[in-house]
Chains A and B, each alone.
Chain A
Amino acid sequence: MDSAKKSVLAARRQFLLDAARMAGGVGVLGLGVGLHAKQAKALPPAAIRPPGAGPEQDFLGACIRCGMCVRDCPYNILFLARPEQPIATGSPYFVARTGPCEMCEDIPCVKACPTGALDHKLTDIAKSKMGLAVLVDKETCLNFLGLRCDVCYRVCPLIDKAITLDLRHNERTGKHTIFEPVVHSDQCTGCGKCEKACVLEVAAIKVYPVKLAKGELGSHYRIGWEEKQKAGGSLVAPEVEHQYNLPEGMRYEHGKGLSSGPPGTMATPEAGVDSLRSVVPNPGKNAAPAGNIPQNIPGGGLSSRMSDDAPR
């Protein structure tokens, strides 16, 4: 009886010891792999995920590293990361500078994905967000130097939407124009064709994962003119007309510049129609969000403008 009790105790001690030993060993292994996994989540900026990939965190849980996307890419731009690369081992990526996404209309890589790590809801390649092009270096970009390189703009599959050329005065020569390539994040798919095409030794325009390339406004921020458009008119009532400190007899209007003549003579037909249109449906409604044109501001009042419009 006594010896039986002893042996039970010894067995229990052995069991606890074995369990602790196992938990210890496996715990060390788990800590190592876990910390490694934490680091592997940091995707290097040059590695771009295929179209339809979600945020990196979600993608690394959904992608089973099978390489079906790699196989079905007709341009062979996709690769599976190797263990020595700082990309999660076995996960697919492409490098824009050497092989950008050709933006196939049928998106075969997404169709090939068995898990939906590349989202099957993506059916329009122009809506994909693989990354975002950024003109990272204005000091070397040929267009900024005053040349008409325009290559990034020309190769963009969404030309004049994702990249536009914005014109401004070339201060250096005083007589030329700078055609500044501007990327629009709402249109850019991150295909990387601009980076591939950039003629410099090192590209001045680069595609980065959206997370790295995009700023984000505070959630409480509101953009005034957007809110105004949404509301159909100014949210501040009465809307204060800007007062310019000008010599007597001079007038300034946005878009038209400085001119001489009594105030109001330069009023454009649109402005006149606008003010009419906005006033007529809301007579006497001063504080209404739409059409609250100031009635009694000196020099820019509604009555004077209306009378000015009358003769035309």
Chain B
Amino acid sequence: MAGKVKWVTDIEKSVLVNNFEKRGWIQVTDTEDWNFYWMSIQTIRNVFSVDTGYRLSDDQMVNHFPNHYELTRKDLMIKNIKRYRKELEKESSPLAEKDENGKYVYLDFVPVTFMLPADYNLFVEEFRKSPSSTWIMKPCGKAQGKGIFLINKLSQIKKWSRDSRTSTFMAANSGKEAYVISLYIDNPLLIGGKKFDLRLYVLVTTYRPLKCYMYKLGFCRFCTVKYTPSTSELDNMFVHLTNVAIQKHGDDYNPVHGGKWTVNNLRLYLESTRGKEVTNHLFDQIHWIVVQSLKAVAPVMINDKHCFECYGYDIIIDDKLKPWLIEVNASPSLTSSTANDRILKYNLINDTLNIVAPNGEIPDCRWNRSPPKEALGNYQVLYDEEQAMSENTDRDLRSRSGQSLGSKSTKSGSVRPVTATWK
């Protein structure tokens, strides 16, 4: 039992390799026996494909769920969230409450989005309702800001669909080059006049029951160019996209800080300029939407016991301090752009390994998935379904004896129908 962990990776990043070596684990190739495989999403597809028929044994772990794309592909995430809302509505769950404008009170956390070309007609209908709005087109299966562009006229989308049909547009049948089109958040919160998005890391060790952790050391990614909502700048991607991969090509990219600001800085700034209550509320809301997005995909996720996953959540905050979930990445970049970035990512992997491979020992996929508090490092428990269930039972008992909890929750959103455990 006390053998050394044999590891494989197809992502040769120093933050990974250094962490494995620090634990005295032994590197092997994927044709040998291995215990721990940190793999790209291309590889995970093969591991779990029907053709290869690979069977993982109890002492093997991998860093993805087989159908993680239910969450990490833009179109599927939207589909799952829409389905989740409908189901809750059907159950008349208090979570599905709507306001006077027909918007979900608690579940309106992704910008209005359609699949293209499938939902083209629905999109046109929505577009005509607010013709001055800007929309953002993103290819479903690509990351790092590739293939993204903005439109604010219907003619642009018509042109695009014509062009792509004659070239590589295969969406209708294969789904590979499908796009999503989302309402562009045109009132983002600006700091120092600059636009930014949030990158947060979330670890999931099981979907049923759901257990997830939030990494405390997320960061804001700033655009190097001033934000102007004017349409003349629509073509300047540096203004709109905050992905480091894109920003790196801007003239003003600074290699010292890489345009990254810690979440702690964000909190200090918001608390100083807006007060503690609204700041706490914002962070609560962010945690809330992460949990809800995971709950939305939990029923369809193959909850393979050999799997865990560390997601990169991209969130934009608007000027009313409402957070919006933009997308979730299955393979957040492990490339380090600055010295601080390297430390952060090294620690992220270190803390992740401490949870999923306790004490650096050979993993056992039947592990109880309840790491002791000391092992969490910079992670904090975001949601633990088992624990929440037992809390709810307690509360139900209490409320039955006392006054009833009531199925309708208050609108303020401060009283949430479900006790999450990040507090």
Q: Do A and B bind each other?
A: no
A residues with CB within 8 A of B:
none
Interface residues of B (CB under 8 A from A): none
